[in-house]
Amino acid sequence: MTADDKVHHINSLAEWQSLLSSNTYVGVDFFADWCPPCKAIAPVFQQLAAKHGIPGVLAFAKVHVEQVRDVAAMYGITSMPTFMFFKEGKQVAVNGQRMIMGADPRSLGAAAEKLGGLAQKRAAAGSGSGSADDVLDGNQVQPIILGLRHLSDHPATQLNVRQPKGAFDLPE
């Protein structure tokens, strides 16, 4: 990665794993050199990375599917460009999309804006103190508490499910 180019160019599985583990959020472009739509959207992806990238919080990466086949195969990439998003090393949906297939600058820009906003909040909160309850797709998932109880007079086990009251407020 150069100073002018805030996009990480991944050359190996080890580099990919290192990037995922050293950033809270990652947006990735799976591409091929021979792909015209990949070439068309590349400047958009680079601009989004320059605008929203925050070292250690939000990284943008490119994975050449023919040169880093093991990473592309991990995610079942079959068409290019394909964009995916990760939080704490796990693939997530952003604005309801787990991936964007094709050169769709509007969807890509909206996803980058969402990640950028979350990254700014995380950076403002300080490293390591950001909320684990960031909402990426507009759906807030309320935590539940599961409890198993074995009743001595019944051979079956009882499953209790309840939501905690006010203990886990999610950010707006």
Per annotation, catalytic residue among 1, 13, 35, 54:
35
Structure tokens at 90: 């796990």
60 and 7 Cβ atoms separated by less than 8 Å: yes
The rounded percent of the chain whose pLDDT value lies above 70 is: 70
Distance of CA 63 to the CA centre of its chain: 15
Q: Which of 19, 28, 38, 48 is catalytic?
A: 38
Which residue type does 83 have? F
User: What is the average per-residue pLDDT within 103-111?
Assistant: 96
Check pLDDT > 80 for residue 102.
Answer: yes
- Residue 123 pLDDT level (bands cut at 50, 70, 90): confident
Other C-beta atoms lying within 10 Å of the C-beta of residue 116:
19
How do the domains of the chain map onto residue ranges?
A: 7-125
- Helix or strand run (H / E) with residue 45: helix 36-52
35 is catalytic: yes
pLDDT, tens digit (0-9, with 9 covering 90-100), for 37-96: 999 999 999 999 999 999 999 999 999 999 999 999 999 999 999 999 999 999 999 999
Rounded to 10 deg, the angle between the 105-125 and 36-52 helix axes is 20
The pLDDT of residue 125 is: 82
Beta-carbon contacts of residue 58 (< 8 Å; ≥ 6 apart): 23, 24, 25, 26, 27, 52, 115, 116, 118, 119
Residue 56 vs residues 69, 118, 147: alpha-carbon distances, Å: 25, 13, 37
Q: What is the CATH number of domain 7-125?
A: 3.40.30.10
